[in-house]
Structure 1
Amino acid sequence: MTTPAKADLTSQELQVLAQLADGDTLFEAARALGLTTPTVEGSVRRAKRKLHGQGCYSTTLTLALAYTTGVLDPPQPQLHSPRALSGTERAVLRHIVQGGTARQAASELGLPERTFHRRSSHLRQRLGARTPPHLVTLAWRLLTEEPVEVLR
């Protein structure tokens, strides 16, 4: 697959992804941008298709791809992270940043899928992420010193 260029996404699609990255829900993004919720949903759908093709159903994967390909500017590293993350927490965050499915991540980590979901939920609370795409942004800030490879 070729790397998408910034020009591939419209300014509206970029604005919507940026709002979601900041933790807005689809409704909040629509309100902030002066759009309807269905218009925002359509922008997300088009961004997914442009970044990953027909098989991309995850907004978190779309956001991860937008960061790694430079379509969206990656978040700045967080200088003072919350208390140290355990090795398992870092591994869970790495899989979240990579954008794979929970099933893939759980399998690679040797965890039941339900446990992976619980740990993701715990990390979302701990880091103050309002939505799963927001967790990608926060995780990206914490893991920027480590190389990130997005699953496609």
Structure 2
Amino acid sequence: MSTEGARGVVHLVDDDEAIRVALTRLFTAAGYTTHAYGSAGAFLIATGTEPDGCLVLDLHMPGPDGLALHDALRQRGWTVPTVFLTGRGDIPSSVRALKAGASDFLTKPVRSEVLLEAVRAALEADAPRRAARERRREARTRFGSLDARERTVLRRVVEGALTKQIAWELGVSERTVKADRASVMRKMGATTLPELVRLSEGLSPDGEPSSG
């Protein structure tokens, strides 16, 4: 189940259908795009890559529970902000979740304004990470528009190679390298060399995030 909104994205994972319906209505009315899942497995199947937005996660569910899902996401390197919901007070679990990076831990029944504030705060705190991810996505898209020689020129330029050296390595004229460099700058959306270096940081030769 999903509905479109503009304030951000909420991924709701709860095995109770009535709660999923009620909270989906709440988040949608508040202006959030809402995706609801009935289990941890359903969420993982639907999200092959780290999702944007905030995860609202029921603690106690059949199969992998909320903490198990949260741990699995952290093992993948995902840092999507998470607000836990639990039907009963569970201090050890709340401490564990918060130590593992959860944004908040709320006990059902939770007042609408309290839950919405927790989601708002989680998304606000996560804004720098989302902005960085968007910059990386844009850089990969721009990198994909480069042809093979332009990618080589980009790599050598950010490594500090001189135009003459790049021309010799590629077996082309310096004028050709200068034209390729200008094309790279334009396609990558850079106006200065430092900006080009920043845009290319973290990209492997195929344009994917590097592992280093």
Q: Which has the higher contact order (CA 8 A, sep 6+)?
A: 1
TM more than 0.5: no
Task: Name the TM-score, length of structure 1 as normaliser.
Answer: 0.41
Point out the structure with max Rg over C-alpha: 2
Choose between structure 1 and 2: higher strand proportion.
2
Query: Normalising by the residue count of structure 2, what TM-score does the alignment of the two structures yield?
Result: 0.30
